[in-house]
């Protein structure tokens, strides 16, 4: 549904897009009353693909009434570790994203939309800028779109580079000219003092298809509560890393890793799979026979937890990976990307990183291994999301990942302490790596 | 808690207690108003709530009636039927975690930290922290650097609560400060090319809940050595409520007290740092009767006893009147109502028609911060309005000063009794020139050894605001207590005592008046019903009931009352004081 057509030659141009049925969903949406449009999307059961899985129509209905102005903001950050879906959608088929923007804007009666592209994503920004120009020229943006009487202006905004700038409220803060930091409270979901709606690229790009083919067609795949597909971003030690669009609940994680992604690289053995981007779940080889269904998604040893499924990032680690090294790579990212405003996340991320590095270097003893887990638990116990101490989910996210790694690989952490450093120091492969954060002072 | 008109109340349950708080209002404010202390670091009632420190953790019962969700009180809204608990293991741990994270890299320099003893981080760590907080061996080691004229920052001690940043944005509107960078590199700094130089900058030090922001003139003086005395700033006619902090019988600093009807939580830097003259070696310390050689300032002074000084004054003024000339009286704008009453009564005994109050208006005029309305008045005569009212009560119309100076030139006035005061109410050049013509018939009640004293035949050493008891009336007509924080400087008497001794030498009735409280009562009895002071006594200057919201009171007493409970701050000193004064005279009609 989402990746359909992306291999058509020149589909990134408006001409090819229109030749392949492009903007027909928008045309339908513009011909409908907003109320009918919301009802149609509600009937489809479409949920947000940013990791929260909130029904899109709920989000629309939740916007405060009445408002003179509303803004639609599109999150095109692809910020989570292991996530590379939205940039591909934009690069390959930008007009489908814009069409989704028009449909959502029509539904909530927004006349200005901001496309917030992560500052580092130069190529997608170039493509989407060109697509916006083409759409204006073809009157699919601007005044009186396609004679419908509906006006919509789209601005492409290169956002601050921090991962945390992609958090919904931080994105709005940054767009409004402030520091991109998560906010809480009544004004946190506003932009320039007006209500603002934030959607992921990967959510909006479903809308044209839903409008064209109808809600029922969308519901034909996926589960009752979670209809449609999910694009999984498989990376790490697999033969065929890449994007895989699969029906929700249709396959198991083992099928995704072994069949679709070709199994572990070089025939080595699997060590762990990290699923879900920021809201990660760490799974061991024997735990992969789980359906890729957010509703049934369970934390090993705990059972289903709302929202734990995350956003479709799947990172595969083989048996040459040092888990402590992996934890360091992840924590380097989190410590670098924390906005720093709340103490648990600011101090906790760098503290855990510091302790892990001592462990890797052989400077830490068994007490410090206990301390790492204890620091993580102070940010929020893994199984009690309602007891998180950080301001936004970012702090508990890395704390949960660390606790997951401990639950699955405690012996390996302890071995580092007793062996006076990494026992595989001389033979190991690089673990999961994320790009070093770009240090932008904002 | 009294219902506030026009606001809906919600009943909530807090650790089993039923509270009535503003429906939809800030939950932390609601709890503080109801007298429940919830520890907090980044929250301040005058600022927006970023919910960053996570210390005001509470658990709110979910709608299912069983499970509990951990959240922060400062960004929660009160709603009817809400059930909150803080006496749970989860909240205890969350508070301890919030403090633990702050302490991990904090340089624990408490014995050499300027904030020690009044540090919220320190105090809350004792009260709510874990038993043995883990401390990283690597400390934040950034160097102390200047932010502005009055404030420096020790970045390693910063807990990133952003109170100072928010203050400069939301209260002063000057926005010199911001947070820079992110993660554990996050820091408070001024924007490039900018300095923290707004006129309220010292308040950032008060706001800082840790030792990061430093008052450059208040170093290494632990809070437990200080004795606080509630008083009024004499810097301008706003009449900010202040606390004078004293150690070893010396004023060490001034801090603002909360009064939402006067100064909110703030005071300006001019007032905050405008007290250093109190302990200056240039202070007048003895009565002087100056001789023939007085052309050189300071030389040829004859140190006199109070009796000798009063009799020299008596002789000069009697001579003046015997020659048919009048005695002029110039009051200073920092005189209390009681002193003004005494001196004006004395002038009446001298049959003087020339009573004046020195105008002390700064050329820059009023400086108002539009976000809050906080105003640094150009009118530096802190008690100008009170003195006018006292004079009116005694049937006198104060004459413009230039008329009096003109009368001296015309030799209608042949002698003068002139009161000086602290910086801001010093005589100007025109006044000094005119007074110079009086020769031996000038008597001065003043604080500083400068040009005015050099001109005078009789110099009576006076007291600064910190050495006086009395009342002052601010620009809005609010009469407030000025309290003696330190004894009069060695050699000095209270101004009331000095004026009574002068009155005694003339056998004037004012000599029989009592101390400040009795004089105020006498003033209240003597003036007619239309006067602002009519019927007032000290007892009727009410407790801080004039404060806009009880929250501020609870907040103002927040950590300091905690410190008191724990024995860090003397409780009895504050309790012995008469209640905070703030009688708004205009309210009576």
DSSP 8-state symbol, A190: E
What CA–CA distances, in Å, run from B541 to B262, B466, B478, B521? 15, 20, 10, 11
- Gap between the Cα atoms of B380 and B365, Å rounded: 10
The complex scores an ipTM of 0.87
A401's CB contacts (< 8 A; 6+ apart) are A274, A280, A282, A327, A330
Flag if B70 and A348 touch (Cβ within 8 Å).
no
Q: Which of B269, B256, B265 is nearest to B149 (CA)?
A: B269
Nearest to B214 by CA among B167, B266, B141, B146: B146
- Which of B70, B105, B186 has its CB closest to that of A387? B70
Q: Is A391 within 8 Å of B90 when comparing Cβ atoms?
A: no
In this prediction, residue B211 carries a pLDDT of 93
Does the distance separating the beta carbons of A389 and B179 come in below 8 Å? Answer: no
Tell me which chain A residues have a C-beta less than 8 angstroms from the C-beta of B138: 354
Q: Quick check: A343 contacting B, CB < 8 Å?
A: yes
Residue B6 is predicted with a pLDDT of: 55
In angstroms, rounded to a whole number, what is the distance separating the alpha carbons of residues B509 and A359? Answer: 86
Closest CA to B328 of B235, B405, B416: B416
Does the pLDDT at position B378 exceed 60?
Answer: yes
Q: Which candidate in A166, A169, A341 is best for mutational testing of the B interface (most B CBs within 10 A)?
A: A341
- Coil vs helix vs strand at A265: helix
CA distance linking residue B312 with residue A339, whole number of Å: 73
Sheet order of strands, B250-256 included: B227-232, B241-247, B250-256
Q: Residue B309's closest CA among B330, B288, B334, B324?
A: B288
What gap in Å lies between CA B164 and CA B560, rounded to an integer?
20
Closest approach of B70 to chain A, Cα-based (Å): 5
Confidence band, pLDDT 50/70/90 cuts, at residue B393:
very high
**Does the distance separating the beta carbons of B97 and A339 come in below 8 Å?**
no
3-state DSSP of B428-463: CHHHHHHHHCCHHHEEEEECECCHHHHHCCEEEECC
Extract the tokens encoding A425: 């120091």
Inter-chain contact B102–A378, Cβ cutoff 8 Å? Answer: no
Query: What average pLDDT does the segment B572-578 reach?
Result: 36
pLDDT tens-digit profile of A233-250?
Answer: 999 999 999 999 999 998
Q: What is the pLDDT of residues A353-411, one digit of tens each?
A: 999 999 999 999 999 999 999 999 999 988 888 889 999 988 988 999 999 999 999 99
**Measured between CA atoms, how close is B210 to chain A, in angstroms?**
14
Work out the number of other CB atoms within 10 angstroms of the CB of residue A4. Answer: 13
Percent of chain B with pLDDT over 70: 89
Q: What is the pLDDT of residue A302?
A: 74
- Which chain A residue's Cα is nearest to B161? A341
The packing angle between helices B495-505 and B337-349, to 10°, is 10
pLDDT of B576 over the 60 cut = no
Between chains, do A347 and B104 touch, taking CB under 8 Å as contact?
yes
A340 touches chain B (CB under 8 A): yes
pLDDT grade for B577, boundaries at 50, 70 and 90: very low
| A190 near B CB under 8 A | no
* Among B49, B62, B97, beta carbon nearest to A378: B97
Q: Is A342 exposed, middle or buried (0-12, 13-18, 19+ CB in 10 A)?
A: buried
Tracing tokens 């006129």 back to the chain, one arrives at B199
- CA nearest to B27 within chain A: A185
- Bridge partners of residue A242, in order along the sequence: A234
| Contacts of A413 by beta carbon, 8 Å cutoff, 6+ apart | A323, A324, A359, A369, A372, A405, A406
Residue of higher predicted confidence among A119 and B155: B155
Q: Is the Cβ–Cβ distance between B214 and B152 less than 8 Å? A: yes
Q: Measure B134 CA to nearest chain A CA, in Å.
A: 9
Tokens, residue B276: 């250093």
Q: Report how far residue A79's alpha carbon sits from residue A160's, in angstroms, rounded to the nearest whole number.
A: 11
By Cβ distance, the residue of A184, A344, A441 closest to B97 is: A344
Task: Give every CB contact of residue B573 below 8 A, 6+ residues apart in sequence.
Answer: B227, B228, B229
Interchain CB contact of B49 with A (< 8 Å): yes
Q: Best of A164, A170, A173, A346 to disrupt the B interface by mutation (most B CBs within 10 Å)?
A: A346
Taking Cα atoms as reference points, which of B71, B59, B87 lies closest to residue A389?
B71
Mean pLDDT by 10 residues, chain A (442 residues): 90 96 96 96 95 93 86 92 91 97 97 93 93 97 96 92 86 92 87 94 96 95 95 93 92 95 92 84 92 87 76 91 92 92 94 94 92 93 87 90 93 93 70 39 28
| Among candidates B52, B134, B178 on the partner chain, residue whose Cβ is nearest the Cβ of A341 | B52
Helix ranges restricted to H, A319-382:
323-337, 343-361, 366-379
Nearest CA-CA distance, residue A91 and chain B, Å: 30
Statement: residue B217 has pLDDT above 90? yes
Chain A contacts of B69, Cβ < 8 Å? 386
| Confidence at residue B545, expressed as pLDDT on a 0 to 100 scale | 24
Asked whether the beta carbons of B107 and B139 are under 8 A apart, the reply is yes
The verdict on a CB contact (< 8 Å) between B138 and A340 is no
pLDDT attached to residue A162: 80
Q: Does B561 touch chain A (CB under 8 A)?
A: no
Better-predicted residue by pLDDT, A429 or B53: B53
Taking CB atoms and an 8 Å limit, are B70 and A389 in contact across chains?
A: yes
B297: three-class secondary structure by DSSP = coil
Cα–Cα distance for residue pair B11/B9, rounded to 1 Å: 7
Is the pLDDT assigned to residue B575 strictly greater than 80? no
User: Between chains, do B53 and A337 touch, taking CB under 8 Å as contact?
Assistant: no
């Amino acid at each position: 549904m989402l990746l359909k057509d992306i291999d058509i030659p020149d589909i990134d141009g408006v001409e090819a897009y229109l030749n392949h049925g492009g903007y027909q969903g928008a045309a339908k949406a513009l011909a409908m009353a907003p109320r009918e449009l919301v009802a149609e999307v509600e009937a489809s059961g479409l949920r947000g693909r940013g990791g929260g899985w909130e029904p899109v129509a709920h989000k629309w209905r939740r916007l405060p009434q009445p408002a003179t102005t509303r803004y639609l903001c599109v999150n095109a950050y692809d910020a989570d570790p292991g996530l590379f879906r939205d940039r591909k959608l934009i690069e390959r088929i930008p007009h489908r994203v814009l069409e989704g923007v028009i449909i959502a804007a029509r539904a909530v009666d927004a006349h200005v939309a901001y496309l917030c592209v992560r500052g580092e994503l130069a190529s997608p920004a170039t493509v989407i800028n060109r697509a916006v120009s083409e759409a204006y020229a073809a009157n699919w943006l601007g005044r009186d779109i396609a004679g419908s009487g509906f006006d919509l202006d789209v601005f492409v905004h290169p956002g601050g580079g921090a991962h945390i700038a992609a958090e919904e409220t931080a994105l709005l803060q940054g767009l409004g000219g402030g520091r991109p930091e998560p906010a809480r409270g009544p004004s946190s979901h506003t932009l320039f003092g007006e209500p603002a709606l934030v959607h992921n690229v990967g959510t909006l790009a479903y809308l044209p298809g839903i409008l064209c083919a109808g809600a029922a067609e969308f519901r034909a795949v996926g589960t009752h509560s979670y209809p449609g597909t999910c694009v999984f971003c498989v990376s790490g030690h697999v033969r065929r890393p890449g994007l895989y669009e699969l029906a929700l609940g249709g396959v198991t994680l083992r099928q995704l890793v072994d069949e679709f992604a070709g199994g572990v690289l070089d025939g080595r053995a699997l060590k762990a799979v990290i699923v879900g981007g920021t809201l990660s779940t760490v799974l061991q080889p024997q735990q992969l026979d789980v359906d890729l269904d957010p509703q049934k998604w369970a934390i090993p040893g705990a059972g289903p937890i709302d929202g734990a499924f995350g956003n479709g990032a799947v990172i595969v680690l083989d048996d040459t990976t040092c888990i402590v090294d992996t934890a360091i790579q992840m924590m380097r990212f989190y410590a670098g990307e924390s906005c720093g405003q709340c103490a648990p996340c600011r101090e906790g991320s760098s503290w855990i990183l510091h302790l892990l590095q001592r462990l890797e270097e052989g400077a830490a003893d068994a007490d410090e291994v206990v301390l790492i887990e204890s620091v993580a638990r102070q940010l929020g116990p893994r199984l009690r999301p309602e007891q998180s101490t950080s301001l936004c989910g970012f702090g508990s996210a890395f704390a949960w990942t660390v606790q997951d790694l401990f639950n699955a690989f405690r012996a390996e952490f302890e071995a580092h302490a007793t062996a006076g450093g990494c026992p595989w120091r001389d033979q190991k492969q690089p673990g999961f790596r994320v790009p070093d954060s770009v240090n932008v002072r904002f | 808690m009294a219902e506030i008109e026009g606001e809906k109340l919600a009943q909530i349950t807090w650790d089993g207690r039923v509270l009535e708080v503003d429906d939809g209002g800030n939950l932390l404010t609601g709890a503080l108003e109801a007298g429940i202390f919830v520890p907090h670091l980044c929250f301040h009632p005058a600022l927006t709530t970023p919910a960053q420190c996570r210390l005001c953790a509470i658990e709110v019962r979910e709608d299912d009636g069983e499970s509990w969700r951990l959240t922060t009180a400062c960004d929660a809204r009160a709603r009817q039927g809400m059930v909150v608990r803080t006496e749970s293991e989860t909240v205890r741990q969350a508070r301890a975690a919030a403090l633990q994270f702050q302490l991990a890299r904090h340089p624990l320099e408490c014995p050499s930290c300027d904030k020690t003893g009044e540090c919220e981080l320190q105090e809350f760590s004792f009260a709510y922290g874990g038993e043995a907080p883990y401390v990283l061996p690597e400390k934040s080691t950034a160097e102390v650097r200047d932010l502005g004229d009055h404030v420096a920052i020790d970045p390693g001690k910063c807990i990133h609560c952003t109170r100072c940043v928010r203050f400069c944005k939301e209260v002063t509107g000057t926005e010199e400060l911001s947070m820079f960078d992110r993660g554990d590199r996050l820091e408070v700094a001024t924007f490039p090319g900018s300095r923290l130089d707004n006129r309220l900058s010292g308040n950032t030090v008060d706001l800082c809940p840790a030792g990061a922001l430093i008052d450059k003139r208040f170093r290494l003086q632990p809070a437990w050595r200080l004795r606080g005395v509630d008083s009024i700033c004499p810097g301008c006619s706003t009449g900010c409520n202040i606390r004078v902090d004293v150690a070893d019988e010396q004023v060490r600093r001034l801090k603002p007290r909360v009064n939402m009807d006067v100064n909110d939580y703030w005071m300006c830097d001019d007032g905050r740092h405008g007290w250093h003259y109190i302990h200056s070696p240039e202070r007048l310390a003895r009565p002087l009767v100056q001789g023939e050689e007085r052309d050189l300032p300071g030389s040829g002074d004859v140190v006199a006893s109070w009796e000798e000084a009063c009799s020299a004054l008596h002789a000069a003024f009697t001579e003046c009147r015997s020659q048919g000339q009048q005695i002029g009286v110039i009051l200073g704008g920092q005189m209390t109502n009681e002193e003004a009453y005494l001196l004006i009564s004395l002038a009446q005994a001298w049959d003087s028609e020339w009573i004046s109050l020195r105008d002390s208006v700064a050329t820059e005029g009023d400086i108002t911060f539009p976000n809050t309305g906080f105003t640094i008045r150009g009118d530096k005569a802190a008690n100008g309005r009170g003195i006018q009212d006292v004079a009116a009560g005694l049937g006198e119309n104060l004459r413009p000063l230039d008329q009096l100076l003109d009368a001296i030139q015309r030799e209608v006035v042949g002698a003068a009794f002139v009161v000086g005061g602290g910086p801001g109410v010093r005589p100007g050049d025109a006044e000094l020139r005119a007074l110079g013509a009086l020769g031996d018939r000038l008597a001065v009640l003043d604080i500083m050894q400068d040009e005015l004293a050099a001109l005078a035949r009789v110099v009576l050493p006076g007291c600064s605001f910190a050495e006086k008891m009395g009342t002052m009336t601010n620009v809005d007509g609010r009469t407030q207590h000025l309290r003696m924080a330190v004894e009069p400087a060695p050699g000095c008497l209270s101004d009331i005592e000095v004026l009574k001794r002068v009155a005694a030498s003339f056998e004037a009735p004012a000599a029989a008046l009592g101390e400040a409280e009795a004089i105020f009562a006498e003033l209240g009895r003597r003036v007619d019903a239309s006067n602002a002071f009519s019927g007032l006594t000290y007892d009727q200057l009410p407790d801080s009931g004039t404060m806009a919201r009880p929250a501020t009171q609870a907040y103002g007493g927040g950590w300091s009352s905690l410190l008191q409970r724990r024995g860090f701050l003397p409780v009895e000193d504050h309790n012995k004081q008469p209640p905070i004064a703030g009688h708004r005279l205009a309210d009576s009609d």
